[in-house]
Amino acid sequence: MKNASGGGKPLDAKDGLYLRAPIGGWLVSIADVPDPVFSGKILGDGFAIDPTDATLRAPFAGVVTSVHRAHHAVTLRAEDGAEVLMHIGLDTVALKGEGFTPHVAEGDRVKTGDPLISFDMDVISQLVRSLVVPVVLTNGERFALAVSAADREIAAGEAVATIAAQGEALSAPAGASDGAAITVKVRVADPNGIHARPAGLVAEAAKSGTAEVIIRLGDRKASAASPVGLMLLGAQHNDELTIEAKGADGAEVANRIAALLGGPELAQTSAPAAAPQAAVAPEVAVAPVSTATPELWGPGVAKTIDGTTASPGLAAGVSVRITSEDFEVSETGADVEQEIKELRAALKTAAADIGAKIAASKGQQAEILTAHLSFVEDPDLRDAAWTMIRDGKSAAYAWKTAIDRQVAALRKLGNPVLAERASDLEDVRRRVLAILLGVSGSATVLPDDAIIFAADLLPSQFADLDLTKVAGIVLAYAGPTAHVSILAASKGIPAIVAAGVGVLCVPDGQPVVLDADQATVRINPPATDLADIRAAVVRRRERLAANRAATQDDCYTADGKRIEVVANLGGPADVAVALESGAEGCGLMRSEFLFLNRTSAPSEDEQYAQYQAIADGLKGRPLIIRTLDAGADKDVPYANLPKEENPALGLRGVRMSLWQPELLRTQIRAILRVKPYGQCKILLPMIATLADLRDVRRVIDEEMKALARTAPIEVGIMVEVPSAALISKTLAAEADFLSVGTNDLAQYTLAIDRVNPRLAKQLDPFHPAVLRLIQLAVEGAKAHGRWVGVCGSLASFPLAAPVLIGLGVTELSATSGSIAEIKAMVRTLDIDKCKAVAEAALALESGEAVRRMLAQSWPEV
């Protein structure tokens, strides 16, 4: 791709500042720097100079904000806040300062042209692969960069680029008069802040009226109609927002938005025509994204990098780097009207394509596409693109640049949930560019057993990969809930994410071992290890194939104990895969998927149709439908949940249902109508007390009577709260069965928020404390002859089966992808051995120790 260049036009800094060449040499496009960290603009946009001088000088007057301890890189901040990183050479961090002489220290003030770092060209050029000096604007979310044409000689001090503060959409000061007629203050209720889903719903609400609506957070503001602008506010849970609406239906729209963001009873509305209030600057505890220089290394270097498991498994293969920039765009447009027409047409085609795909998809795929559609229609993105086209840019350049800025800004907010959504924006960029440039998706030609290394993978890039060649995926960014993680897990491809920019420095063709179970990737491991792992991977593949071949048989332990292995489902679309995988029924149908991402609850008939479709699809096999488990991380805006300090400890699960009994009644009626009677059972989430169970029982009994149904329905409780395990005997007296939700049980037992990425590793369902509560639950259930299943993620680990069966669990409800392996494992077990394993696990000191013990006993699993 060619650099953002001024196409030979003279630079004009207007109110901004000139960025001068910090060194003489050959000016190169940033996209041509042979390092994806720079060419992919991961650290920001800019340019590079292949130096002929040996002294790096200040490209503008400012303050030195950092000098790398290896003295090869320096950042400088201008008075207006623009910050520029200059990095001498590639791989030079490894020199640990050899050959560099810094002339400045952090905090020094410098004038344009002052020397910053000198270096010994002869020494350094012998030691590293390139001396090129990338010069990068690191806060592109606040400043716009225009770079002059590359591929020419340049003298130190010559103006190469201009930096200007961005438009006010991102940084207008609070209190700038908009003549707002109504002001509503609200606190963000969503535990993840304003991310894609709430942003999309707010934008939808904003567009439903005629009022012009602005939302402020501290000194930032965004148009309520722009999902991207809203995400860029960086609003976190509990932040105070000010909604300002101007227009005839201003009050109505503002209140609707306030209800979506924070619940209506907490929104305080000021008198109409009140002057807009300056919002209080929020105390946002967001860690800034590091702009630290990544370590680089050459071929043959052995490294181990840790990340977070996105999809478990083991793989051995060779590294293949994939960069997300596939398209070359020319910066300069032809005719303004023509470019606008082309971009309009491309956006229309993209929207139609996405719309058609939404109609043809379900569940998570449909959710992902709906977010993409809202980006295609985003007014802020479009406005930014129109402005650039009017300034003489091409349609492709304008669209690409408009999205790039927002992506950089989202990544720099330091909010992991929002950073994950940046890849959705990139996907939309790619889709529209493909239409504009008339190219189809770029399928990378992969070697066998490719382990993909990338900053991120867009869902459409993932779709382009030849998955028969992909052995594993390692991503610098993304998170375990990113769309690429969901897709990798659904295809059974081992993947780790959030592994840091170091993964981008792995050259192609290196031998790699990926142990996604342990969230570790080893580059250039010892040859003997590699051979062992390759052999283990082959054995594993053969074993999986054999397991799949035998998966349709019912499941018994080797000594004849019946263990039901059933599937967790999200809707009718999951049934076929579950049955193909060998599921003997459904142990957990998460009904909340029918309720999420909509503006009103599904009607009784709508729900009934879905439940009946699942029951029919299961062809008589058992179906356990869990009633709506909303609240906390599962947002159902129309339930109008109040804002709570700790929503995970508040109105969620069955408490929310009892607080909104009409939602519960409607759902119960829909479930009670499913035929044949007896196939379908009800499961209640988040039961903490006997009163919870009795209250729902009463509703069920009343609705049975109303429907004149006399055939009984089994009602089970989820054990997700320690209290439920502790009083399981009391609960089992009135519940027909118990199903342990280890995701929440681990959260509440270990006091670790399940959506906190920093503590994700410690949230371990194998922890002996969690296992001990499962033991208690089984003991209580046995006293009344009730059976106990596990439907939390622990059940999906084949290695957990011996422990759970040893504790007395007789049903495992797992993800479809793990069913064949679980069944194969169960068939090798006998009850005495399981009991011994469970007892040993309970006596261990940590979840890690339990996993280790199990991995030693079953090294091939």
Nearer to ligand PEP, 380 or 629 (CB): 629
The sheet that has 17-20: what strands, in order across it?
A: 17-20, 159-165, 143-147
Q: How far is the CB of 744 from ligand PEP (least distance, A)?
A: 3
Residue span binding Mg ion (CB under 5 A) among the ranges 371-379, 471-479, 720-728, 758-766: 720-728
Report the first-to-last Cα separation within the chain, whole angstroms.
45
742 binds, among Mg ion, ligand PEP, none (CB under 5 to 8 A by kind): ligand PEP
Q: How far is the CB of 742 from ligand PEP (least distance, A)?
A: 5
Nearer to ligand PEP, 462 or 797 (CB): 797
Count of CA atoms in the C-beta half-sphere (13 A) of 599 = 11
510 binds, among ligand PEP, Mg ion, none (CB under 5 to 8 A by kind): none
Nearer to ligand PEP, 452 or 791 (CB): 791
Sequence-ordered list of residues with C-beta below 8 angstroms from that of 740, at least 6 positions apart, any chain: 718, 719, 720, 725, 774, 777, 788, 789, 790, 791, 792, 794, 809
Nearer to ligand PEP, 189 or 624 (CB): 624
Nearer to ligand PEP, 83 or 564 (CB): 564
Nearer to Mg ion, 744 or 811 (CB): 744
Distance CA 742, CA 795 (A): 8
Q: How far is the CB of 741 from Mg ion (least distance, A)?
A: 4
Which tokens sit at 107? 């905090």
Nearer to Mg ion, 36 or 716 (CB): 716
- Residue 741 in the binding site for Mg ion (CB under 5 A): yes
Under 8 Å between Cβ of 627 and 397 = no
Query: Binding residue for Mg ion (CB under 5 A) from 35, 744, 764, 811?
Result: 744
Question: Of the candidates 289, 241, 823, which has an alpha carbon nearest to the alpha carbon of residue 563?
Answer: 823
187 binds, among Mg ion, ligand PEP, none (CB under 5 to 8 A by kind): none
378 binds, among ligand PEP, Mg ion, none (CB under 5 to 8 A by kind): none
| Catalytic residue chosen out of the listed positions 483, 555, 586, 834 | 483
Q: Is 165 helix (H, G, I), strand (E, B) or coil?
A: strand
Q: How far is the CB of 686 from ligand PEP (least distance, A)?
A: 8
The sheet that has 109-110: what strands, in order across it?
A: 109-110, 62-67, 73-77, 83-87, 133-137, 45-51, 25-29, 152-154
Question: Of the candidates 628, 847, 825, 835, which has an alpha carbon nearest to the alpha carbon of residue 745?
Answer: 847
Q: How far is the CB of 805 from ligand PEP (least distance, A)?
A: 18
Catalytic residue check, 555? no
Nearer to ligand PEP, 49 or 718 (CB): 718
791 binds, among Mg ion, ligand PEP, none (CB under 5 to 8 A by kind): ligand PEP
Under 8 Å between Cβ of 316 and 530 = yes
Q: How far is the CB of 790 from ligand PEP (least distance, A)?
A: 8
Phi, psi of 500 (to 5 degrees): 90, 160
Residue span binding Mg ion (CB under 5 A) among the ranges 203-211, 243-251, 734-742, 823-831: 734-742
Helix (H) or strand (E) holding 304: strand 303-306
Q: How far is the CB of 750 from ligand PEP (least distance, A)?
A: 13
525 binds, among ligand PEP, Mg ion, none (CB under 5 to 8 A by kind): none
Distance CA 503, CA 294 (A): 9
Residue span binding Mg ion (CB under 5 A) among the ranges 69-77, 117-125, 276-284, 744-752: 744-752
Q: How far is the CB of 774 from ligand PEP (least distance, A)?
A: 11
Under 8 Å between Cβ of 49 and 172 = no
Q: Which amino acid is at 96?
A: K
Q: How far is the CB of 642 from ligand PEP (least distance, A)?
A: 21
Q: How far is the CB of 83 from Mg ion (least distance, A)?
A: 43
User: Which residue is it, tokens 């049903």?
Assistant: 811
Q: Is 737 helix (H, G, I), strand (E, B) or coil?
A: strand
Catalytic residue check, 505? no
The burial class, CB within 10 Å (0-12 / 13-18 / 19+), for 240 is: middle
Question: Of the candidates 43, 54, 69, which has an alpha carbon nearest to the alpha carbon of residue 135?
Answer: 43
Pairing of the two strands 564-569 and 811-814: parallel
569 binds, among ligand PEP, Mg ion, none (CB under 5 to 8 A by kind): none
Nearer to Mg ion, 216 or 652 (CB): 652
684 binds, among ligand PEP, Mg ion, none (CB under 5 to 8 A by kind): none
Under 8 Å between Cβ of 733 and 756 = no
Cα angle 128, 130, 131 (rounded to 5 degrees) comes to: 100
Contact residues for ligand PEP (CB under 6 A)?
588, 590, 629, 720, 741-744, 791-792
The sheet that has 115-119: what strands, in order across it?
A: 55-57, 115-119, 100-102
The burial class, CB within 10 Å (0-12 / 13-18 / 19+), for 84 is: buried
212 binds, among ligand PEP, Mg ion, none (CB under 5 to 8 A by kind): none
Q: Which amino acid is at 280?
A: V
User: Which residue is it, tokens 């066998």?
Assistant: 448
Which tokens sit at 666? 């409607």
Nearer to ligand PEP, 530 or 648 (CB): 648
| Catalytic residue chosen out of the listed positions 505, 586, 680, 791 | 791
Distance CA 366, CA 179 (A): 39
- Residue 592 in the binding site for Mg ion (CB under 5 A): no
Residues engaged in binding Mg ion (CB under 5 A): 720, 741, 744
Q: Which residues are catalytic?
A: 483, 791
